[in-house]
A and B are shown apart, each in its own frame.
Chain A
Amino acid sequence: MPMDHLGDRQRNLSARSKTGAPADDTGTDRQAAFRTEGLSKTYGAGGPNEVRALDGVDLELPSEELVVLLGPSGSGKSTLLNILGGLDHATRGAAWFREMELTAMTDRQLTRYRRDHVGFVFQFYNLVASLTARENVELVTDIAMDPMPAAEALSLVGLDARLDHFPAQLSGGEQQRVAIARAIAKRPEVLLCDEPTGALDSRTGVAVLSALEAVNARFGTTILVITHNADIERMAHRVIRFQDGRVIDVARNRNRVAAEGIRW
């Protein structure tokens, strides 16, 4: 059973959660991974179809946390994630990754930033159909500075036996785990996940969440997870709720549950 060794890590994670307790309720003693000030994004500005996807968001997200972003469709979660990931530009306001001001970067600098610091996991996996699992991961290891071997990344998500399978030969959960392996292979500091379990059933979804949890625990990777699934918030360090482009609530989760304990 490929998930067994993840189970081991799960136990490690739980142990660490007990010992490495944050100093206070807000948990902001750690260095912030992301910070935003009045971050806004407007589509079709000035036109009849103007959409305010993000409307003056101020946030501070500490490092090494697993943060869940909740909210209805169109509430601004994905837009925030895209801007923090350097995939999109803000209309107004500013965003920082550590000391780097993302909103002041050129396209070229953003490319560099994504290459060196960020890993992405998408709802529809976005694997390249013509590449095997290993080769999909190698897309990243080919260009990253200090990557782990592709096989190791896949082993981390429990896919040792599926290295040379094409996406079409893998189940949905397996494909998403390839995508996670691809995202973590470069040892990113942050992992941005847009609905990583959105297309999966409960059982495979849990396997994917376990993999994320393990990555967070083992490497201290800051992970942002967008989801519609409120059950997932139970495994987060922190939960941010969105509505109409604004943050309406930021809550710390005092009673974290291991991913394996989640069902939907």
Chain B
Amino acid sequence: MVKPRAIDRKLLRDLRRLWSQVAAIALVLACGVAILLTAFGMIRALDTTLNDYYGRQRFAEMFASVRRAPGKLVEEIRAIEGVRSAEARKVGPVTLDLPDRPAPGSGRLMSLPAGAPLLNMPLLVSGRMPDPDSDREVAVNARFAQANGFRPGDGLAAIANGRRLDLTITGMLRSPEFLYSLPPGGLMPDDAGFAIIWMPERAAGAVLDLEGAINDVALTLHATAVTAEVADRVDALLAPWGGTGVRLRDQHPSHAFIAAELQQLRNMTVVLPPIFFVIAGFLVNMLLGRIVALERAEIGLLKALGYRKSEIALHYLLLAMLVACIGIAIGWLAGSWLAGGMARIYARFFDFPWLIRPDGLDVYAISGLLALVVAGLGAARAALTAARLAPAVAMAPPAPPNFGKGPLDRLAAGRWLSQPAKMVLRGLLRWPVRAAMTMLGLSAGVAILVASSFMIDAMDVVMDSAFYRANRQHATLVLGAEAPAGAALQARALPGVLRVEPQFDLAVTLRNGHLSKRLSITAQPPGGDLVRILDTEGRIVAAPETALMLSRQLAEQLQVGPGDMVEVEVAGDRERDFSEPVAAVTRQYLGLGAYMDHDALAARLGRAPRVTALHLALDPAALPEFQAALKTLPTLAASVMLTEVRDSFRETIRQNIRWNTILFLTISGLITAGVAYNGARIQLSERARELASLRILGFTRTEAASILLGETAVLALLAQPLGWGIGALIAQGMVSGFDSDLYRIPLVLTPANFARASLLTLTAILAAALLVRRRFDRLDLLDVLKTRE
């Protein structure tokens, strides 16, 4: 084994001597490496898995729904130029009578083509596919089976179109169409209460009253196809039969949700690692700057001995590289562990049959290389200074720094200041860049806390707005088809129902010139008390009698405001298209919204008011009777118990926020303590002689320490407002980043949030200061004075 050179042994011993600062820097660097590794790794894993799964199971690229079209229409669709394959399906809602659930569950019935499906091929997890000729055999999605403990051969009671079906489960499936599936009217996946049910085509036709007819089409296209042209031709073919317009893959609910998740991961990779890398680079810069300053004599000695400039620069660069290597090792370990944890979260959240995690050696290499570059850049200035020190200069003690006479310095010279206060102030003024960088570093911790904890307040506002101000009903019944207004009276007659408010949802495309958006107009009768609309200030407003109200998000997308006209294209019934002015803009955090008065909409459509959903207020005492009665209701597609939705929403948010809070608290604590500790330690090494002299002049330990930590204290206080500002900016960025059609979060910045962030970071700074103070207390001051500077 080659014996390391003496200068290299010095390096290793320096590293050990500086372990606490090295650890602080390495941990900050490790955070950047770990996040990069995790996010990059997960992005690639999700991308690869999706491509693989979608490709193998032939996930369609285009989807279209229609009210009822003849089965042979699919041949015409296949004949459209650019269409590679097309498959017709029969799809409809069913309610389920589940043995362990008082309320009825809901399901989506999908027909299975007689041969093997061409597209969206389900994957058999266990059991077998249903017999194509059977009327009773079905397959269900594996998650639903698992949540309810169903096994192949078990029975399943469903109600479709008012008929009770006693089905037999033959197998469990997974489908690329349902990686993420929400029940009708639900906000969260509900594995136990919502099923995907695959039924042989013939039987499905009978159950859904679609014999010889279809109501759903899925397509894939040739690589050369012009998507928009194909979409137009499919729309044209389906329009006479009540086509509601083509949806592309990115509008498919399951895929849209995963795409949103991927986008969030991408945002995370862009925003977070650079913060850590910059701070780590800055810490390396501080540490090495100080070491080079302290080791002037040793650098001079090495030069006197004949070491070259390059050897000396390399010596200090290597120190930074070793710090980086420690950070990289920790980051790789933590990143691998985090990636594993995230993969498990994804596996729980999304119904992947497998998760391909590419080995990603290059991601390890890139993250490691970045960390090395960051440390190298951080060390560059100090290494160059060391290399440039003239040997004779290096051997003499540094000249006392030149304390200036600028206006600020005159302020610092004011007679009203005590000598220790002057020392602190002049120290800051003498090295303004260092002071500013330290302040920036400390403010980063505050900013991260402000930006991460604002989510808690924001989610409170979302919860309050969505569940306590806008949606106050106990239950919502989603009807399988449009029903006459009299349905409300029937619902009122159900046991325990105190109040009923009907709602009519009309699938439309809203259009303003070339801008359009497909969604449902929600129509409610005036005076609703259970489901209410909130204006942009959060006040309750009624739907106007003759105009539309749009959620702000939607209005922005369509570029319309109050007074502008919007064209309303009625999906599947284009003859009833109409135009409507926008009356007002509303506030809404979940989904997009367009609202209209119930009767006004009916008048526009030229027909009697209809109902598609009923919101109910319930007597809690009669809940069991109410739920039992629902199971016999013929026209029900789904029933949503809002209390359950609220609870599951709150629980999911709470879990996410808990992990986020722990993560960001750790990160912020590491950064703050790392910056504060390094800053104060540098003060200690630079001022050891000064402080020793003060002690000998009769200053107490505490008085001397207050000079030592005074600078840190001043910078910590100045860093607070700066951190609030930066945090608010980051929070604003996150609000924009989260903004999607699915959900958005409000920017809620409360004094409590700022105070919390400051309190936590000041605590971390105090802890770091106490560590340095302890070191100061242990210092043998006479010893310090005896040695040469």
Contacts and interface: CB of A to CB of B under 8 A. Distances in A.
Nearest to B302: A139
A138 B6 contact: yes
B306 A128 contact: no
B7 A115 contact: no
B303 A87 contact: yes
Contact of B306 (A115, A122, A135, A137): A115
A134 B107 CA distance: 81
Contacts of A143: 305-307, 311
B788 A124 contact: yes
B13 interface: yes
Interface string A84-95: 011110000000
B306 A126 contact: no
A135 B301 contact: no
B348 interface: no
B298 A111 contact: no
A112 B14 contact: no
A130 B9 CA distance: 8
Interface string A76-118: 0000001001111000000000000000000110011011101
Interface in B289-342: 297-298, 300-309, 311
Interface stretch (B387-395, B580-588, B622-630): B387-395
A139 B7 contact: yes
A135 B392 contact: no
B6 A135 contact: yes
Contacts of B5: 138, 142
Given A107-B309, A122-B395, A135-B6, A114 B14 contact: no
Contacts of A116: 306
Contacts of B390: 87-88
Contacts of A140: 305-306
B17 interface: yes
B72 interface: no
Contacts of A124: 297, 788
Contacts of A34: none
A136 B10 CA distance: 9
Contacts of B17: 130
B580 to A, nearest CB: 80
A263 to B, nearest CB: 25
Nearest to A194: B395
Given A88-B392, A122-B395, A130 B13 contact: yes
A259 B9 CA distance: 36
Contacts of A85: 304
Most A CB within 10 A of own CB, among B6, B301, B311: B6
A88 B393 CA distance: 8
Given A85-B304, A111-B308, A126-B300, A139 B391 contact: no
A142 B392 contact: no
A88 B391 contact: yes
A135 B5 CA distance: 8
Contacts of B13: 130-131
A142 B6 contact: yes
Contacts of B306: 111-112, 114-116, 118, 140, 143-144
A205 B14 CA distance: 31
A40 to B, nearest CB: 16
A120 interface: yes
Interface in B236-278: none
A142 B392 CA distance: 22
B307 to A, nearest CB: 6
A126 B9 contact: no
Interface residues of A, number: 30
A111 B301 contact: no
Interface string B501-538: 00000000000000000000000000000000000000
Nearest to A86: B391
B10 A131 contact: yes
Contacts of A86: 391
Nearest to A112: B306
A131 B9 contact: yes
A120 B305 CA distance: 7
Contacts of A136: 6
B391 A87 contact: yes
Nearest to B3: A138
Contacts of B7: 139, 142
Contacts of A115: 305-307
Interface in B1-54: 5-7, 9-10, 13-14, 17
A182 B43 CA distance: 57
A138 B305 CA distance: 11
A131 B295 CA distance: 14
Nearest to A110: B391
Contacts of A142: 5-7
B392 to A, nearest CB: 4
Contacts of B14: 130
B392 A82 contact: yes
B308 A139 contact: no
Interface string B769-789: 000000000000000000010
Contacts of B9: 130-131, 135
Contacts of B308: 108, 111
A182 B7 CA distance: 14
Most A CB within 10 A of own CB, among B7, B297, B301, B788: B301
Contacts of B300: 87, 126
A20 to B, nearest CB: 30
B10 A128 contact: yes
A112 B311 CA distance: 13
B297 A114 contact: no
A243 B472 CA distance: 98
Contact of A126 (B297, B307, B309): B297
B303 A111 contact: yes
Most B CB within 10 A of own CB, among A128, A135, A136: A128
B743 to A, nearest CB: 57
Given A87-B392, A128-B298, A139 B6 contact: yes
A64 B10 CA distance: 34
Interface string B368-400: 000000000000000000000011100100000
A110 to B, nearest CB: 8
B309 A87 contact: no
B304 A114 contact: yes
Contact of A139 (B297, B305, B309, B788): B305
A51 B370 CA distance: 49
A130 to B, nearest CB: 4
B169 to A, nearest CB: 73
A87 B299 CA distance: 12
B274 to A, nearest CB: 34
Nearest to A117: B306
A173 B658 CA distance: 62
A70 B307 CA distance: 30
A140 B303 CA distance: 11
A144 B305 CA distance: 9
B16 to A, nearest CB: 9
A87 B6 contact: no
Nearest to B13: A130
Interface in B142-190: none
A87 B298 contact: no
A235 B203 CA distance: 118
Contacts of A122: 301, 395
Contacts of A112: 306
Contacts of B298: 126, 128
A71 B641 CA distance: 99
A85 B301 CA distance: 12
The 6 A-B pairs at the shortest CB distance, nearest first, are namely: A115-B306, A138-B6, A130-B13, A88-B392, A87-B392, A87-B391
Given A88-B390, A115-B306, 9 more contacts: A82-B392, A85-B304, A111-B303, A116-B306, A124-B788, A128-B301, A136-B6, A139-B6, A143-B305
18 contacts: A82-B392, A86-B391, A87-B300, A88-B390, A115-B305, A115-B306, A116-B306, A118-B306, A120-B305, A126-B298, A130-B9, A130-B10, A130-B14, A131-B9, A136-B6, A140-B305, A142-B6, A143-B305
